[in-house]
Structure 1
Amino acid sequence: MWRSIENLWRTVARLDLRARLRKHLAFRAFRARCHQSTPLQVVIGAGSTEFSGWVSTDLESLDVTLPQSWKRLFRTDSIDRLLAEHIYEHLDEAECRKSFRECFRYLKPGGLLRIAVPDGHRRDSAYVAEVSPPKDGHKMLFTVESLRSLLEEAGFQVTPLEYFDASEQFHHSAWDPADGMIRRSLPFDTQEAFRIGPLHYTSLIMDARKPNRSRPCAE
């Protein structure tokens, strides 16, 4: 009996070692892909989303709040574009600050972070019910003012692309999906449940660019 138990534990240990080895090799291959991609365009919190020419990450491969998670994947000043669609509402303010500092650190000078989050100045009832914390694990509900403030604090030059203002007026500028595709946006969303006039589900969308000559990123 004891020999059978011992053999079972040895089998379990071998399987665990093989699983860890496969995970390690998969990570090394993923990191090599990041280092070899030109341009290096990264989707944050992509889940199953894949865009041609972009590297998709999820929480297992990149925890955006942890400096060591960025460091093991990327070189400083190495990323051309970062894309984050409806990720940052799941973090609290302190976590957002940490993440924006790391985004700034790892983007090349002139590199772009395109970010989309639910819009706190859009106040129709269906939308508010869908996006207000703690729905779906949301911790933050940004406005154009609060998101701009956090991004500028990290050192970015900020351009709002789509947003409601405090008077509930919608503003939008033309933007190129090649720089980062946002599906929940004026040009691309078609969800009838959130329709108000010509709009469906909209997001607060901003481009945050790292200046060509940037100050050192704060620790």
Structure 2
Amino acid sequence: MTSPLKVILGAGSQAWAGWLPTQREQLDLTNRASFEDYFGDRRADAFLCEHVWEHLTLEQGRAAALLCFDFLKPGGFLRCAVPDANFPDEEYQRIVQIGGPGPADHPAADHQIVYDAPLFKDVFEQVGFEVELLEYCDEQGRFHYHGWDVATGPIYRSLMLDHRNRDGKLGNVSIIVDARKPE
């Protein structure tokens, strides 16, 4: 029996046990051929993608969702996180805004969109995923957390893992979704 194929999309410096880290050069969310070359006839059991989708336009994000759907096994999932447009912190919003602050090499410099939870959920539902919101802020800025198991796919910028979320204070949040491909 082979072990599950679990792939981090746009891993950057992230490395999690049991997950294969990939960069854009290996798996480009805007290029179907890169997925065909990487996977061949195989399909992933799970994808993990943290703070990458905001670097795509909305149209590219929808196409990337379809690409992930196509390269997942039935019953597989994509756990995906992006900055949250409804997190009520001015400095956070300044940092994650479209175009981002500071020099051109700042990670947020090429942000194309800042999602709210309904729009982000819709990106995945429109291509056939069943989507569960795990963490997000609503339109009033209230944070919502739906218990999820970090062991099934860690997201650093989350309530449980981010070092800025301590002692009852939220210092950094993400919209986190589980997008599951139906069996």
Shared topology, TM-score over 0.5? yes
Residue 106 (structure 1) aligns with: 71
C-alpha displacement of 1:191: 2.5
Taking structure 1 as reference, are residues 120 and 77 closer, same or farther at Cα in structure 2, changes over 3 Å only? farther
CA distance in 1, matches of 2:167, 2:53: 25
Residue 168 (structure 1) aligns with: 141
Mapped pair 1:150 → 2:151: no
Structure 1 residue ranges without an equivalent (≥5): 1-35, 213-219
Q: Deviations over 1:103-142 (max 9, x none)?
A: 0001000001000000011132111111111112111100
Q: Which amino acid aligns with 2:171?
A: H
C-alpha displacement of 1:62: 1.1
**Count of aligned positions:** 175
1:10-49 equivalences under 5 Å are 38-49=3-14
C-alpha displacement of 1:77: 6.5
Q: Which amino acid aligns with 2:29?
A: V
Determine helix, strand or coil for the equivalent of 1:116.
strand
Larger radius of gyration: 1
Residue 105 (structure 2) aligns with: none
Taking structure 1 as reference, are residues 37 and 51 closer, same or farther at Cα in structure 2, changes over 3 Å only? farther
Identity within the alignment, %: 40
C-alpha displacement of 1:198: 2.3
Q: Deviations over 1:11-41 (max 9, x none)?
A: xxxxxxxxxxxxxxxxxxxxxxxxx962000
CA distance in 2, matches of 1:179, 1:126: 31
CA distance in 2, matches of 1:85, 1:143: 15
Residue 216 (structure 1) aligns with: none
Residue 181 (structure 2) aligns with: 210
Q: Which amino acid aligns with 1:58?
A: Q
CA distance in 1, matches of 2:2, 2:173: 31
Q: Which amino acid aligns with 1:204?
A: I
Structure 1 length as normaliser, TM-score? 0.76
Conserved? CA contact 1:121–1:165, under 8 Å: yes
Answer 1 or 2: higher relative contact order, Cα 8 Å, separation at least 6. Answer: 2
> 2:51 pairs with 53, 78, 86, which one?
86
List structure 1 segments (4+ residues) > 6 angstroms apart after TM superposition: none
Q: Which amino acid aligns with 1:61?
A: Q
* Between structures 1 and 2, the one with greater helix share: 1
Conserved? CA contact 1:76–1:105, under 8 Å: no
Conserved? CA contact 1:77–1:105, under 8 Å: no
RMSD across aligned C-alpha pairs, in angstroms? 1.8
Conserved? CA contact 2:78–2:178, under 8 Å: yes
Structure 2 residue ranges without an equivalent (≥5): 101-107
